[in-house]
């Protein structure tokens, strides 16, 4: 295939100070849950992106000194020679594919935790921290400021030693000391580093100049700046101080990486944002600097990318989440394979890795985080290990991914779906408010399967155990999913809630199907992820009076990890959903329910003609159990293996189901050498005993 000429502009080189990017695709700094804990995992993950055509591949935030320790969250570090080796590992991997390697030097000021180093947090003024840790920052004196400049310079020199191509001065989001100095609401100083905007920008200017003097002969110097905090007059704005800051520093860096603050706005989920959402805030930057500009905007469409460049919004297409969902996005555009792009769904499950201090995962890309530990590649997979045929029962996320990956390996695959529509839970969930982009999980896999002559799809095929035994294939993967429970059993309740067997009790599937629910409605959320809030929003949009009762301390509490809890709660309140937090359901009656405080057990009556249970899910595993429990029949039918995958094995999030389907396909005829440890671990080299 050849590249569409419309996209030629995306593959023009861009000069960044003393270095040149081979095209306009720029993987901006993004957290990954790997950092200093898993340097080999981190290096391989970034290398795959360079292989996929990204011209610039950057680290996450890289702490310049122990006074900015983000433990337990695993960021990068450049404190000493060991950290130089870790960064060099990534840089060398990125350079192998002709890409530039960037490092985002950072000191997080009032966003610092220092839980491990126990050093005193520093900031422009004496202020409380911003991340919920019960500590404060000490106002930096002149000696501290000199030290800060020295720490940053030393980190830049270490970055150069590690053969880094682009070194950042980080003033983005709401978590960096340079941003805190620039914010009038956090900088209460009366010396030359406080007061006027020029004074508040002084430290950023000095560190830019220091960095350029130290490593600018070899490295491009980038600044990342949040030009708008979306706080109106209470913060920096793109038509106010954000613009003035860019004008003050316009020609000093070699590249401007511009965004909005804070992280939840910069990486807004698809439920609350759309492609190119930051354009109105960053579009002014190119008019006040001659240096190249990179910006992000959940870019997945090459047409949108070209439009941004031709209209003078940016010079380089910045991406974090789209580069995670498809590390080969640039190469697919370059090679004329646009239809093969695995588009990001904007769910932010990748972000949750950072918040849970674990290597990130991706709903669309099951290889993400397993490039080193399992040796998985997002585009290549080993050829089949036999001529066996594989029957996949169920075309939800696990079944679709298993069939797709097995087909890619060259196996004969039959995919049987009991209903007319493919996609399983993805299909009905994507019909709920704000989740339409999630249909990409289904659509990308269906599109790839349609191109495979060795994969046959059977719709409206509800298979019995006898059907499976007669099918004539050697392996069976059962991906029949799971269903939400009506009985209320979940995290809080180990037994059925009295009254849950009534005709007025429903599940999220019922809500999506439009089953006859009448108001007022109680949505009982003991799951605390996205489903309870989405169901409540839909029911309210349908005109019902809705009360969300949750065992959590807020609506959809776990979505703190995906940066959207505050938006979910705000939307529910705005559309008129009443929220009752920290309450369990004790009993369901005809017209009301008994709710009980999870702390005091104090009972309150709530009116409800209908109750929707969002508690836990029950695997649809009867087919699997019948087959797996009769080895004699399996042997007689020539079936070598039967395996439950995805929600049929263990109900979880969609990302886990996709990963499980992919794993089953990878391990078909190629099981791990050590089934007790089916992946590589990173070991810390122990120093000599003292």
Strands (E), 552-602: 578-580, 583-588, 591-597
Per the annotation, the verdict on 173 as an active-site residue is yes
**Which is the catalytic residue, given 173, 180, 281, 544?**
173
Confidence (pLDDT) at 687? 59
The one-character DSSP state at 105 is E
Of 312, 284, 309, 314, which is closest to residue 296 (Cα–Cα)?
314
259 strand-pairing partners: 226
pLDDT by residue (tens digit) across 258-280? 999 999 999 999 999 999 999 99
Residue 673 burial (C-beta neighbours within 10 Å; 0-12, 13-18, 19+): exposed
For residues 375 and 381, give the distance between their C-alpha atoms in angstroms, rounded to a whole number: 10
**Which is the catalytic residue, given 26, 70, 168, 170?**
170
Confidence (pLDDT) at 690? 42
Confidence (pLDDT) at 689? 45
604 strand-pairing partners: 595
**Which is the catalytic residue, given 266, 326, 525, 647?**
266
With a cut of 50, list the residues of the chain below it in pLDDT. 689-690
Q: At 329, list the tokens.
A: 């996005």
Confidence (pLDDT) at 174? 84
Confidence (pLDDT) at 686? 64
- Which run of H or of E encompasses 215? helix 202-215
Q: What's the distance, Cα to Cα, between the start and end of the chain in Å?
A: 61
Confidence (pLDDT) at 133? 73
Per the annotation, the verdict on 266 as an active-site residue is yes
| CB 579 within 8 Å of CB 573 | yes
Question: Going from the N-terminus, what domains does the chain have, and what CATH number goes with each?
Answer: 5-355 (3.20.20.70), 389-481+620-666 (3.40.50.720), 485-618 (3.50.50.60)
Please say whether the dihedral angle defined by the alpha carbons of residues 490, 493, 494 and 499, taken in this order, is positive or negative: negative
Output phi, psi for 230, to 5 deg: 55, 35
**Which is the catalytic residue, given 30, 31, 83, 583?**
31
**CB count in 10 Å sphere of residue 122:** 25
For residues 319 and 54, give the distance between their C-alpha atoms in angstroms, rounded to a whole number: 10
Q: At 214, list the tokens.
A: 């130290």
536-574 b/e (C-beta count within 10 Å ≥ 16 → b): bbbbbeeebebbbbbbbebbbbebbbbbbbebbbebbee
Residues 332-338: contacts with CB under 8 Å, at least 24 apart: 333/3, 333/7, 333/10, 333/302, 334/3, 334/7, 334/11, 334/23, 334/53, 335/1, 335/2, 335/3, 336/1, 336/2, 336/3, 336/4, 337/1, 338/4, 338/302
Confidence (pLDDT) at 271? 96
Of 275, 333, 321, which is closest to residue 32 (Cα–Cα)?
321
122 strand-pairing partners: 138
């Amino acid at each position: 295939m050849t590249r569409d000429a419309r996209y030629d502009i995306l593959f023009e080189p861009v000069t960044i100070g003393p270095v040149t990017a081979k095209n306009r695709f720029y993987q901006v700094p993004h957290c990954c849950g790997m950092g200093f804990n898993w340097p080999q995992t981190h290096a391989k993950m970034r290398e795959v992106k360079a292989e996929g055509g990204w011209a610039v591949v950057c680290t996450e935030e890289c702490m310049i000194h122990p006074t900015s320790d983000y433990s337990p969250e695993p960021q990068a570090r450049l404190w000493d020679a060991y950290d130089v080796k870790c960064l060099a590992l990534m840089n060398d991997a990125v350079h192998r594919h002709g890409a530039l390697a960037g490092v985002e030097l950072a000191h997080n000021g009032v966003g610092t935790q220092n839980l491990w180093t126990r050093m005193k947090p520093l900031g422009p003024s004496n202020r409380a921290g911003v991340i919920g840790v019960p500590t404060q920052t000490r106002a930096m004196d002149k000696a501290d400021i000199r030290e800060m400049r020295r720490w940053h310079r030393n980190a830049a020199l270490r970055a150069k030693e590690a053969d880094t191509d682009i070194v950042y001065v980080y003033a983005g989001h709401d978590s960096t000391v340079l941003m805190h100095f620039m914010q009038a609401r956090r900088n209460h100083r009366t010396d030359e580093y406080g007061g006027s905007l020029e004074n508040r920008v002084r430290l950023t200017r000095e560190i830019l100049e220091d960095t350029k003097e130290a490593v600018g002969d070899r490295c491009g110097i980038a600044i990342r700046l949040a030009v708008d905090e979306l706080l109106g007059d209470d913060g920096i704005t793109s038509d106010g101080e954000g613009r003035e800051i860019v004008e003050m520093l316009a020609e000093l860096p070699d590249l401007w990486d511009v965004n909005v603050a804070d992280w939840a706005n910069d990486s807004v989920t698809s439920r609350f944002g759309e492609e190119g959402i930051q354009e109105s805030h960053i579009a002014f930057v190119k008019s006040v600097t001659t240096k190249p500009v990179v910006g992000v905007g959940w870019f997945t469409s090459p047409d949108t990318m070209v439009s941004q460049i031709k209209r003078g919004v940016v010079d380089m297409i910045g991406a974090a989440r789209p580069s995670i969902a498809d590390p080969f996005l640039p190469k697919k555009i370059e090679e004329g394979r646009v239809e093969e792009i695995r588009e990001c769904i904007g769910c932010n499950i990748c972000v949750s890795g950072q918040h849970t201090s674990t290597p990130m995962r991706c709903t669309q890309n099951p290889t993400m985080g397993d490039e080193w530990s399992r040796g998985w590649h997002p585009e290549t997979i080993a050829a089949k290990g036999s001529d066996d045929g594989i029957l996949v029962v169920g075309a939800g996320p696990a079944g679709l991914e298993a069939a797709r990956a097995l087909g890619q390996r060259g196996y004969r695959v039959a995919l049987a779906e009991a209903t007319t529509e493919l996609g399983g839970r993805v299909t009905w969930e994507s019909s709920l408010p704000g989740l339409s982009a999630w249909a990409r999980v289904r659509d990308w896999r269906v599109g790839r399967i349609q191109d495979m002559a060795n994969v046959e799809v059977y719709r409206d095929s509800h298979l019995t155990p006898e059907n499976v035994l007669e099918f004539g294939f050697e392996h069976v993967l059962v991906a029949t999913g799971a269903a939400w429970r009506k009985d209320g059993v979940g995290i809080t309740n180990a037994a059925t809630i009295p009254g849950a067997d009534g005709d007025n009790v429903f599940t999220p599937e019922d809500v999506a199907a439009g089953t006859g629910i009448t108001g007022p409605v109680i949505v009982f959320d003991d799951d605390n992820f996205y489903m309870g809030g989405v169901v409540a929003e839909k029911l309210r949009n349908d005109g019902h009076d809705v009360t969300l009762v949750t065992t959590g301390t807020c609506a959809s509490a776990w979505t703190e990890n995906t940066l959207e809890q505050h938006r979910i709660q705000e939307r529910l309140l705005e559309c008129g959903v009443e929220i009752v937090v920290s309450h369990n359901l004790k009993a369901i009656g005809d017209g009301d329910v008994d709710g009980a405080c999870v702390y005091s057990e104090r009972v309150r009556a709530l009116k409800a003609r209908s109750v929707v249970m969002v508690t836990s899910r029950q695997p649809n595993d009867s087919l699997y159990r019948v087959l797996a429990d009769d080895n004699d029949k399996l042997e007689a039918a020539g079936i070598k293996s039967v395996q439950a995958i995805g929600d049929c094995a263990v109900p979880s999030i969609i990302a886990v189901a996709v990963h499980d389907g992919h794993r089953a396909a990878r391990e078909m005829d190629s099981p791990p050498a050590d089934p007790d440890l089916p992946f590589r671990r990173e070991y810390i080299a122990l120093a000599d005993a003292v």
